């Protein structure tokens, strides 16, 4: 090979290495967004949190962040993989800076996918510290196992048309209100269920407008029972009250229908030897419908149960199991809120009230796990 050919080969190698180096630098760069509204929409669509870097010209700490903190591999990987990173020149965007209370530079704003601000960091941030904040935010937005289970249950109940339990599962997620991505999914499913309730309410209104008061009453009652707590159910309750108040015959018909429903439920529970809910229905009949024949049949059922000690013993055993189960559920509810001390109170109550039982053993295991786990959230002092 000639001397000239060797020189050209060397030049080509150098150029190739330079191109490779530039591509590596591009791949290693943070993919900054510069349009605030577009970044917000992207974050919501991808269910990712947002990091906003507010900076200004002639700002030494801003330059230091750019040269030292952001190139750190932990920060770079976190921002490109788990965030929507947005860079904003504060003085050139005074309205946005003012709305977020930005007056010092650099300032880092961390927000959830829904735009809710989680934290504001003012001044230069070391890579180690910033990584801790980013990791903590990502962890706080991750759905808990309990929320995942609640959402899967809600999907299952919704598919089966059991909107009562679907709504209850979704409310557990939405009441947490931490801006987690799963809350968006829960909210969307809740809106679909509310739309179904609105459709049934519209049918009731059409029946009412057509003078079909009895049918309208049944449709409104169906909305109230099938979709408790949603706006359509609240409106249905108001419409039922007005309809019954204006029509005495409807009031009598509704009262009779309710008594028959309670008696049918009591008889079903009696046949399946589920005596506690049977007694509950019988007591409701006697308390609210004593003048109707259904109440007398309910009284006879209750008397038969109360005159049989074996049946009463079985009912008491069921109540004991249910009480223990409620205490365990209450403890789990407090654990979802990170109120560990309150959860421990009810776990201890299970151990004391039901010694030697399966529930007491389960409560003891949970208490041991809690004692081995550092407290967090509301049980931690400070911010």
DSSP symbols for 205-269: HHHHHTT-HHHHHHHHHHHHHHSTTSHHHHHHHHHHHHHHHH-HHHHHHHHHHHHHHHHHHHHHH
Please report the pLDDT score of residue 331 as a whole number: 86
Contact criterion met (CB below 8 Å) for 305 and 311: yes
In angstroms, the CA 240 to CA 238 distance is: 5
Please report the pLDDT score of residue 188 as a whole number: 92
Give the global pTM: 0.46
In angstroms, the CA 201 to CA 222 distance is: 9
Q: Which of 196, 198, 200 is nearest to 163 (CA)?
A: 196
Please report the pLDDT score of residue 297 as a whole number: 92
Contact criterion met (CB below 8 Å) for 315 and 276: yes
Longest CA–CA span in the chain (Å) reads: 117
What is the residue-level pLDDT of the chain in tens, covering all 383 positions? 555 445 545 444 444 444 333 333 334 589 999 999 999 999 988 889 999 999 999 999 999 999 999 999 999 999 999 999 999 999 999 999 999 999 999 999 999 888 888 889 999 999 999 999 998 888 777 766 677 888 888 999 999 999 988 998 888 888 876 667 788 889 999 999 999 999 999 999 999 888 888 888 888 888 888 898 899 999 988 888 888 777 777 777 778 888 999 999 999 999 988 888 899 999 999 888 888 889 899 999 999 998 998 988 888 887 877 788 888 888 888 888 888 888 888 888 888 888 888 788 888 888 887 776 554 444 433 33
Angle between helices 213-226 and 181-209 in degrees, nearest 10: 170
Q: Which of 256, 262, 232, 233 is nearest to 244 (CA)?
A: 256
DSSP symbols for 142-176: SPPHHHHHHHHHHHHHHHTT-HHHHHHHHHHHHHH
CB contact set of 123 (below 8 Å; sequence gap of 6+): 61, 104, 106, 107
Please report the pLDDT score of residue 244 as a whole number: 73
In angstroms, the CA 269 to CA 265 distance is: 6
Phi-psi region of 361 (alpha: psi -120 to 50; beta: other; left: phi over 0): alpha
In angstroms, the CA 113 to CA 179 distance is: 7
């Amino acid at each position: 090979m000639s001397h000239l050919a060797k020189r050209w080969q060397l030049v080509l190698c150098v150029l190739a290495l330079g191109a490779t180096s530039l591509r590596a630098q591009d791949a290693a760069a943070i993919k900054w967004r510069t349009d605030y509204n577009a970044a917000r929409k992207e974050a919501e669509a991808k269910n990712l949190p947002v990091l906003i870097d507010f900076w200004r010209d002639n700002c030494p700490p801003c330059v230091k962040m750019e040269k030292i903190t952001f190139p750190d591999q932990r920060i770079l990987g976190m921002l490109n993989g788990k965030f929507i990173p947005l860079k904003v020149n504060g003085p050139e965007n005074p309205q946005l800076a003012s709305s977020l209370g930005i007056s010092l530079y650099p300032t880092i704003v961390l927000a959830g996918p829904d735009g809710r601000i989680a934290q504001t960091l003012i001044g230069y941030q070391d890579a180690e510290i910033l990584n801790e904040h980013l990791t903590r935010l990502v962890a706080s937005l991750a759905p808990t196992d309990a929320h995942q289970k609640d959402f899967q249950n809600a999907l299952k109940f919704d598919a089966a048309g059991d909107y009562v339990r679907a709504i209850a599962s979704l409310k557990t997620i939405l009441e947490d209100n931490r801006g987690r991505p799963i809350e968006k999914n829960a909210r969307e499913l809740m809106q679909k269920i509310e739309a179904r309730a609105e459709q049934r309410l519209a049918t009731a209104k059409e029946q009412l407008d057509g003078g079909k008061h009895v049918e309208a009453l049944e449709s409104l009652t169906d909305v109230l029972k099938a979709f408790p707590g949603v706006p359509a159910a609240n409106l249905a309750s108001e419409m039922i009250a007005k309809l019954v108040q204006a029509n005495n015959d409807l009031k009598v018909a509704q009262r009779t229908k309710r008594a028959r429903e309670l008696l049918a439920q009591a008889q079903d529970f009696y046949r399946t030897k589920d005596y506690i809910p049977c007694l509950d229905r019988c007591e409701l009949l006697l308390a609210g419908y004593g003048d109707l024949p259904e109440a007398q049949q309910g009284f006879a059922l209750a008397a038969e149960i109360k005159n049989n000690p074996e049946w009463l013993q079985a009912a008491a055993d069921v109540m004991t199991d249910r009480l223990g189960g409620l205490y365990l559920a209450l403890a789990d509810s407090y654990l979802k809120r990170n109120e560990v001390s309150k959860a421990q109170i009810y776990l201890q109550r299970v151990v004391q009230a039901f010694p030697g039982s399966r529930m007491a053993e389960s409560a003891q295991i949970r208490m041991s796990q809690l004692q081995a786990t550092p407290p967090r959230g509301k049980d931690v002092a400070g911010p």
